[in-house]
Structure 1
């Protein structure tokens, strides 16, 4: 890309913002030299790595990049045999530690399921020199001071230093506190001059005090003298200090030598860390700009949705929708000055450069950008006094340079094309330039004031008009870009609102050409229709929002009703079960009492007992039918359907019958025994449904509902005995002289239990096993009295 274009589109300001987001000088260096790429695959990779870093920031909020600095200069010195200072070595150790933390951090995100192929590859290449780091930290503390523990010799030397220093201070303290010397001192203190311990002595006592003079005050009234008594101790102290320096130098030399052995590995890690820092700087910039990841196109098309110029504050910028797609390669923007035409050009150009640099864009999701080989721009007034160039000449010089290089992988941005010269010639020249650029296959956006160019898009295939909106009511631009609508002159409307005489305005209208008037009328009509469409869309959006809100409330009410319905059903089931249990218990109690009364006084006849029991069973069946009907009414959408001839049970009075005819959706003609009657559909149940719950055998008085045999095969013993008792009652009530009980042969346990039960029944005359034609030992034949 041309440096002039980068500067013209203010790309350098984006680089500055990006550099400010880096955590170290390493990332800032890469950001400050960032250039757009023209390789589509490289651009795709650059955008993907930004997206990966942004995902990490969304999950973790930060990257642990502390302690990492650019240690490449000291590494180079170590490689050529230089000795690094303690602070330089500690900076290297901190950077090695930082690389280890970064590597672990990224690998941890990958283990947790994050898809980070690019960051993962960078982390994989990091090879922290942990052993050298430990050696450095074992000798140097965090403040860059070589510790006593760095070597045994250093520990011994520093122990001697502390001993000499203590003895010197004790000696001096005794001197300054002595009454004989206090009068000779300017102050009773101990200080240091030329790395020697001294005391301040008054000038008149210089000879009397004795010792070595190291300094004198500015006034000459005080001499800083090293007392003779500590001269030897000071000499030994300085000798020990020299040994300390030599030992520290030896330690630093050894550490520098060890670092030189791994310098290349550390340097590679630093380079890798610089890239990682730069990638996360791009992600932080995306967060600040509220930017999104754009899709890439190679077809020479783009579509920026709600695009914002990144250098205009969020509170001031007006988002625009701008696109070149579906065969459109050129966009001509017209409209008033200060209306946003130039900002539109710069927004498209700058966002294109940002995308090709791997940056996310301040646009809505789903925006598409194209990767261009060249971005050319001729924007602004570049009049040059030094070169004696007019505005027109300056623009033409730039356009000529553009035409020399433009191709089908170029984006060309022309601002006020043809301005600065005769309008008629300028318009003609502009049309010719636009045609030339289009013929080269380039994408083109141009702004203009010429009315002739408003019709350009209607006469050329692949060209579309656009305009920046102007509010005549407020006499100010709205900065909105209107795609597909050319701008129109607002001079007459503005003049009228400002108070210009209507007569003058009408005379001016008569002077413009009819073609121009028609174009303006067409544009005005388009604007009216657009505003009407926008109002209609806004109303539709409002109604849709209201409908969605109401639908949501209805869904909530329906869910609430369903919950209440289920609760009521469950409560009804619980109540019904309780009533059923109570009814059964009461029925058993009544039957027990009746049997006791019959046994004791023989005052109740057997048929009366059976009839009473039958009525109780009928009540139980009715109650059970009510129990099953209650939840059925909640769960069924419609009544069950039956076919003619189908066997059913009439739940209202517990009888079985057969369907004769369907009278309606809610009623059937049913034959029960010898009777035919109309029965409601919700009072009928299929017999097979009844059999699934294994009810006891029916005990009705009508002979048509009680068979002359009872099959107990496969039944559990308790259930078989209960069914046997009820069947015998029903058979007696029906007036049968004899019945057959089918119990099967099996082990004989059920047969024995049946015969024992039968032998105790007061109304049974005799029992016997069935004959050869009656089922043999698998059947017991019962005769009643």
Structure 2
């Protein structure tokens, strides 16, 4: 039954298209043997293999598979000790090379972080027989000739052959060049007969040369004679050629034995590379028909979107949407002949067979293909002349066979169900058959032109009508499948369009039953509603696409802004780093200068130290100062009430000033430079409020109210940083008027303590130092008395 279904659905014609994409005879055999599968897990594996190959085709465009040969017979002969000829050995080397090159190709894609799962596992099962490939290629050239490099013995034999050939030709050429010789020869050339070098001698000079006659011309006027002086050399030459042939056979036999040792590995290579060729044949075929990977549904649900029959050219096909098995399990397509009903049926059948064969299907991505244990099809007029069966009998014989085998895991396709007999009886049989198949639980699609079946779906659950759209204006079908709308009769509309009198058409309408008129009006209303819905859908779809495009445009613009912001940040950071580096260099220079001043001039004055300190503070990068200023601005606060002296900004004038005095409920007198003016509160922006100035006795300026502590904690500081902190602290302490300070350096390793004490000893403002007492911190603190 499957064979017949594949024939009526033209599965073999699809395989002929697929065959063109196989790169080797092995792949072609695999394609020819391909049949639909019925185990959903096996189908998933095949679909995954096709998908991975399609991914590589999409990314790379080409795959290195050229040179794959069917060497199975050769390696079997080598396994039992037979000698392979040069061509067979070259085919073995070529197949090894193809497997090695494909392995490198896949490994390269993995290194490029292209996600692959199936092919890496396949190539891992192949053993790279590089040594065997090189052995064969070093012995036999691409033309099938055993080269001198095949063995040392063969090289020596061929050198001897070339030497003997040169010797005998030299002797014969002396004869052809002499005046006497040219007179006796038919032509001044050297030729070969029976693998021996001879001269073409005129018959009348036969006795002059002696030697052996090997041949004569058709006229008998020329004899091909091996002169006596050349016989010995020719004999030696023949012996060397015999040795050459013996050595060649020995080399071929040795290579054949090597091939026999790797029979198992070579069989795996052939098996894997055959599967690879088959995978990529399916992938390249899928690309040629713009196919996509279908989702598989084990419950037999179909949802083909924009489906196309692979055998119909793109410029002729109209994509269709077909669904089955979800809300309904039976689909009845009605309408006139030549409307595309059969094409719809064949498209569903073909795409189902393709999906269950591991092929991608010519349909939109996201399409769902049901997996069935049995597929049945009664399509076309296949009446047998020998059996003298009518069209009806032929269809019914096939339907009987289907009804005997169908089950709940079947897909059944009926074309023109009940045709070929009385319309009333045919329609009744069709309804009964559909009811039985539906009761069994099978999925069914049937086409018919019987009007009685138009109402079939309206009183049965799980059954839906469909029709192929017909354009009355052009009097041609559009081939669009309309699910949920039964086919309407277009006879009256077509007749009127062709010019038939309205009187005749009106009279014909009187003979149509009221029920038929009611159904036609219902169908017409359905079509009008469908067209209106399609218009609304198209408008909504256009708006959706426009919104998506706008969203994408905004997303790209946002990404551009983010990249620009990142670039500005990086540039600012680079500028800041350069400023910091420059400041560090300046600071190091000043530090070095200070140390030199302290070392060379112990009695240096305070104002010089203060001046150096000021220069050190000025090395702070401008960008940091700016940042501090901006941070301060950000920290400004608003106030509930403006007071005299508050700094404000007049927004309308873009000028800064300060509040002189209130001038009413919401007005203030604002001092702007030398001018004072009345301004509304809403036009003022608060900036700052001056802090009250506190006055202190002059003596306190140098006392403990100078905000300098009497101790400096260096614990955790790095050595260089600590030394700088000590120097700065001593300057501040002197300015604050302290007589004694404590430097906390901790006990630790003693390096910091030693450095602090050495600095204090040479500092001009330090009178003396001592270690801290038990209550002052002991050895972790140094007490310095200041001058």
TM-score by length of 1: 0.75
- The range that moved more, 225-234 or 316-325, is 225-234
Corresponding residue pairs, total: 643
8 Å CA contact 1:710–1:742 kept in 2: the answer is: no
Taking the aligned partners of 2:379 and 2:543, their CA distance within structure 1 comes to 44
Taking the aligned partners of 1:36 and 1:270, their CA distance within structure 2 comes to 24
2:494 aligned partner:
494
**Correspondences of 1:306-705 after superposition (within 5 Å):** 306-542=306-542, 643=640, 650-652=648-650, 655=658, 679-680=681-682, 683-685=685-687, 698=690
Deviations 1:255-279 (A, max 9, x none): 1112111112111211111011111
What SS does the aligned partner of 1:183 have?
Answer: helix
8 Å CA contact 2:658–2:670 kept in 1: the answer is: no
Change (3 A) 1:318 1:235: same
What SS does the aligned partner of 1:376 have?
Answer: strand
Change (3 A) 1:187 1:749: closer
What SS does the aligned partner of 2:243 have?
Answer: helix
Taking the aligned partners of 1:32 and 1:12, their CA distance within structure 2 comes to 9
**Correspondences of 1:221-260 after superposition (within 5 Å):** 221-260=221-260
User: 1:194 deviation in Å?
Assistant: 1.7
8 Å CA contact 2:320–2:480 kept in 1: the answer is: yes
Change (3 A) 1:208 1:15: same
2:291 aligned partner:
291
Change (3 A) 1:710 1:253: farther
Taking the aligned partners of 1:658 and 1:359, their CA distance within structure 2 comes to 90
Taking the aligned partners of 1:96 and 1:557, their CA distance within structure 2 comes to 53
User: 1:186 deviation in Å?
Assistant: 2.1
1:735 aligned partner:
none
User: 1:35 deviation in Å?
Assistant: 0.9
What SS does the aligned partner of 2:464 have?
Answer: strand
User: 1:172 deviation in Å?
Assistant: 1.5
Deviations 1:749-777 (A, max 9, x none): 55865899xxxxxxxxxxxxxxxxxxxxx
2:707 aligned partner:
744
Is 1:194 matched up with 2:194?
yes
User: 1:516 deviation in Å?
Assistant: 1.2
8 Å CA contact 1:333–1:468 kept in 2: the answer is: yes
What SS does the aligned partner of 2:184 have?
Answer: coil
**Correspondences of 1:30-429 after superposition (within 5 Å):** 30-429=30-429
8 Å CA contact 2:670–2:678 kept in 1: the answer is: yes
User: 1:537 deviation in Å?
Assistant: 2.9
Taking the aligned partners of 1:193 and 1:260, their CA distance within structure 2 comes to 39
Deviations 1:148-200 (A, max 9, x none): 12222111111110011111111111122222122232221111122122222
Taking the aligned partners of 1:390 and 1:18, their CA distance within structure 2 comes to 36
8 Å CA contact 1:378–1:398 kept in 2: the answer is: yes
TM-score by length of 2: 0.75
8 Å CA contact 1:709–1:741 kept in 2: the answer is: no
Change (3 A) 1:149 1:357: same
8 Å CA contact 2:325–2:443 kept in 1: the answer is: no
8 Å CA contact 1:457–1:465 kept in 2: the answer is: yes
User: 1:212 deviation in Å?
Assistant: 2.0
8 Å CA contact 2:296–2:368 kept in 1: the answer is: yes
Deviations 1:659-701 (A, max 9, x none): 999x9xxx899999xx9995237612476xxxxxxxxxx4xxx
Change (3 A) 1:105 1:554: closer
2:694 aligned partner:
708
Deviations 1:214-263 (A, max 9, x none): 22223333222222221221111111100100011111111111211111
Change (3 A) 1:290 1:563: closer
User: 1:286 deviation in Å?
Assistant: 1.1
What SS does the aligned partner of 1:680 have?
Answer: helix
Change (3 A) 1:710 1:116: farther
Taking the aligned partners of 1:710 and 1:364, their CA distance within structure 2 comes to 88
Change (3 A) 1:319 1:111: same
What SS does the aligned partner of 2:34 have?
Answer: coil
- Cα RMSD over matched residues? 3.7
Taking the aligned partners of 1:650 and 1:357, their CA distance within structure 2 comes to 83
- List runs of 5+ in structure 2 lacking aligned partners: 568-625, 651-655, 672-676, 711-729, 739-787
User: 1:532 deviation in Å?
Assistant: 2.2
What SS does the aligned partner of 1:238 have?
Answer: helix
- List runs of 5+ in structure 1 lacking aligned partners: 568-623, 633-638, 688-697, 699-704, 712-723, 725-739, 757-785
2:614 aligned partner:
none
- The range that moved more, 526-535 or 276-285, is 526-535
Taking the aligned partners of 1:642 and 1:94, their CA distance within structure 2 comes to 89
What SS does the aligned partner of 1:444 have?
Answer: strand
Change (3 A) 1:685 1:521: same
8 Å CA contact 1:644–1:658 kept in 2: the answer is: no
Taking the aligned partners of 2:18 and 2:544, their CA distance within structure 1 comes to 42
User: 1:551 deviation in Å?
Assistant: 7.6
8 Å CA contact 1:286–1:292 kept in 2: the answer is: yes
Change (3 A) 1:148 1:507: same
8 Å CA contact 1:644–1:660 kept in 2: the answer is: no
User: 1:543 deviation in Å?
Assistant: 5.0
